[in-house]
Amino acid sequence: MTIKVGDSVPEATLMKMTADGPAPVDTADLFAGRTVALFAVPGAFTPTCSAKHLPGFIEKAGELAARGVDEIVCLSVNDVFVMGAWAKQSGAEGKISLLADGNGDFSKALGLTMDGSRFGMGTRSQRFSMLVKDGKVVELNVEEPGAFKVSSAEHLLGQL
């Protein structure tokens, strides 16, 4: 079942690269008592993700914060080392938390996976964005396959 507006975000453990190495991030702690803009991409370093999706959120980070967003999170079914390298390469460090859903457990719990096997990627997250307030989904924007419109930073800003 796919998560919808009004639902609570499922509990899972994601991973974040820190100066001390990989560290777990519990979703209950991540979302509790805060407003979080979460967007998911099919893969780090992939064309649309690297050229449009992540850069849009980096560019709009200040505007999102000014409208009450406590943290911006980029999620991908990649390992924590890839997400750490992508954060450095993209200039996202200090602006956006790039979190690894290594086995896709969180994406599966959200009901927002896609089959990327035809591209050699296996099961990945769909491209989407959501606004979460105190653990509850208040906005959810899921892209059609191959599209990049409703999950953009600009679109999410318009919903705030």
Structural domain contains residue 4: no
pLDDT score, position 144:
85
Q: Divide the 160 residues of the chain into consecutive groups of 10 and give the mean pLDDT of each group.
A: 93 95 96 96 75 86 96 95 92 93 94 77 82 97 86 91
- Interatomic CA distance for residues 105 and 15, integer angstroms: 12
CATH number at residue 126: 3.40.30.10
User: Which residues are the active-site residues?
Assistant: 49
Residue-level pLDDT at 50: 63
Q: Is residue 85 part of a domain?
A: yes
> Number of folded domains in the chain?
1
Instruction: Examine residue 3 and state whether it is found in any structural domain, yes or no.
Output: no
Q: Output phi, psi for 149, to 5 deg.
A: -140, -65
pLDDT at 126: 83
DSSP-derived pairing of the beta strands 21-26 and 123-125: unpaired
Q: Confirm whether 140 is domain-assigned.
A: yes
pTM for the model stands at: 0.90
Inside any domain, residue 27: yes
**How much is the pLDDT for 147?**
80
Q: Range of 102's domain?
A: 13-158
